């Protein structure tokens, strides 16, 4: 079975890939059994990929996908997030803040981030969502979370412009500060998508097998983001 990765190709770091990876435009080009194929999510129309091991981003997860598909979460795949997770897990008491700017408004992204954070802090005790006025653009969403056990979080999303992530952790005698703009190794910054990119191996290593439990949990977070608790 071939590995087929549906991804935003602009986010993939091909330089550090260990596998042989080829970007293709559609399923007709999946000819080599040992290669890893990447289809840009803009070109993926939901066509059947039965017979392949498919890795799909959480924001494209749909009911039509069969059990056994692999799903990956954007936030979880970033190398900086993996490193920060290692530190935070030593003592999860504190205040977590995440600031994201993304181009397109997408509640699925927020639900996906909640899923990822729940793997670090456990299931939230409460989630409250505050949205800016629907009449103004860009729209902004604030998510306030109480994970219980002494962990609270604020997530801020603005839907406008280029991807940007700021992560802050105020823990017990531990502070983490990450800013994707400041940590860009290039100047001028336009020459790289680093640090907001990840390898296909990160996708392989960090993807989750789609099953009823995953779908239900993600759906639960989706409901919370869409006002299931309070707005």
Beta carbon of residue 177, minimum distance to other proteins (angstroms, whole number): 10
Q: Which residues bind other proteins (CB under 8 A)?
A: 93-95, 97, 99, 101, 126, 128, 130-133, 136-140, 142, 144, 146, 150, 152-154, 156, 158, 160-161, 170, 172-173, 175, 230
Pick between residue 12 and residue 153 the one whose CB is nearest to other proteins: 153
CA–CA dist 224, 209 (Å, integer): 23
CB 115 within 8 A of CB 59: no
Pick between residue 87 and residue 172 the one whose CB is nearest to other proteins: 172
Q: At what angle do helices 107-121 and 212-223 cross, to 10 degrees?
A: 110
Beta carbon of residue 153, minimum distance to other proteins (angstroms, whole number): 8
Pick between residue 94 and residue 195 the one whose CB is nearest to other proteins: 94
Pick between residue 66 and residue 174 the one whose CB is nearest to other proteins: 174
Q: What is the DSSP string of 95-118?
A: EEEEEEEESS--HHHHHHHHHHHH
Beta carbon of residue 175, minimum distance to other proteins (angstroms, whole number): 6
CB 132 within 8 A of CB 140: yes
Beta carbon of residue 139, minimum distance to other proteins (angstroms, whole number): 8
Hey, how many other C-beta atoms are within 10 angstroms of the C-beta on 123?
14
């Amino acid at each position: 079975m071939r590995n087929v990765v549906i991804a935003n190709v602009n986010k993939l770091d091909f330089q550090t890939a260990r596998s042989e990876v080829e970007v293709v435009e559609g399923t007709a080009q999946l000819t080599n059994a040992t290669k890893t194929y990447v289809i840009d999510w803009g070109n993926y129309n939901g066509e059947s990929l039965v017979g392949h091991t498919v890795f799909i981003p959480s924001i494209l997860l749909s009911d039509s996908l069969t059990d056994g598909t692999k799903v990956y979460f954007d936030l979880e795949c970033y190398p900086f997030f993996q490193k920060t997770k290692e530190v935070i897990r030593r003592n999860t008491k504190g205040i977590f803040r995440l600031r994201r700017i993304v181009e397109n408004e997408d509640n699925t992204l927020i639900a996906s981030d909640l899923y990822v954070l729940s793997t670090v802090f456990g299931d939230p005790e409460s989630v409250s969502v505050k949205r800016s006025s629907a009449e103004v653009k860009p729209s902004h969403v604030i998510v306030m979370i109480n994970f219980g056990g002494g962990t609270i979080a604020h997530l801020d999303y603005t839907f406008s412009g280029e991807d940007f992530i700021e992560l802050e952790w105020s823990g017990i005698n531990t502070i983490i500060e990450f800013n994707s703009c400041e940590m860009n190794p290039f100047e001028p910054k336009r020459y790289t998508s680093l640090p907001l990119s990840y390898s296909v191996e990160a996708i392989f290593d960090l993807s989750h097998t789609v099953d009823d439990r995953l779908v239900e949990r993600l759906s639960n977070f989706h409901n919370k983001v869409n006002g299931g608790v309070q707005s």
